[in-house]
Amino acid sequence: MKIILALLLFTSSIAFAENSNETQVIVDDIKLSDINKKIETLSLNTNPKKSISKKNKLKHCSQHSLKTLRKKSKPYNQAITAASSQYGISVALIRSIITTESCFKPTIISPQGATGLMQLMPATAKRFGIIDLTNPTNNIQAGTRYLRYLLDRYQGNVVSTIAAYNAGEGAVKRFKGEVPAYKETKTYVKRVMSLYDKFFHAYQKNQQTIE
């Protein structure tokens, strides 16, 4: 009888162990499948994000095509031409400054307080009798008048004028009339001069498409 009971207990323990092993295998399979799903989800989520970020990487306004820049400029062409004529500043230069400063967004305000199309500081605009810088015509008038003042100050030196427009007259003075050794200002001058060349030569080739 004792032998029979012992055999029964031994058989039951084997069955229990086998069931336990099967259960563990099932649990392990579930865990493994869950992990695989997570890996697949991560891989699916990661790759598109990379491609989307590359695809949607924003260009600086100066990198847009001439056709796009003409379209952006069109609502302000009359004001630009009027200011150009009044202050003797090239239309190409005014457009280049606006493109670099605001990408033709008339109500944009920088963290420092520079406002409007030509991103003028209120104190600078006030020097030229302008208060409402969100008005495109007023902004262009003030900005162009400031360019005229800078060109006269630097005896027609366009590069020094552009540098001072960005970094301030004091900074250009400290660097003896040269472009200040600031990364932002150097990049700014390069962009404006590149755009100036682009707008100017396009105007020379086909005036009616620009004006």
Give catalytic residues, as residue numbers: 101
Asked whether 94 and 80 are in contact (CB, 8 A), the reply is yes
Give which of 136, 74, 130, 129 is closest to 101, Cα–Cα.
136
Any idea which residue has 């400054």 for tokens? Answer: 97
Nearest to 195 by CA among 31, 73, 12: 73
> Sign of the CA dihedral 42, 47, 52, 53?
positive
Count H helices, E strands: the chain?
10, 0
176 three-state secondary structure: coil
Separation of alpha carbons 154 and 164, rounded Å: 10
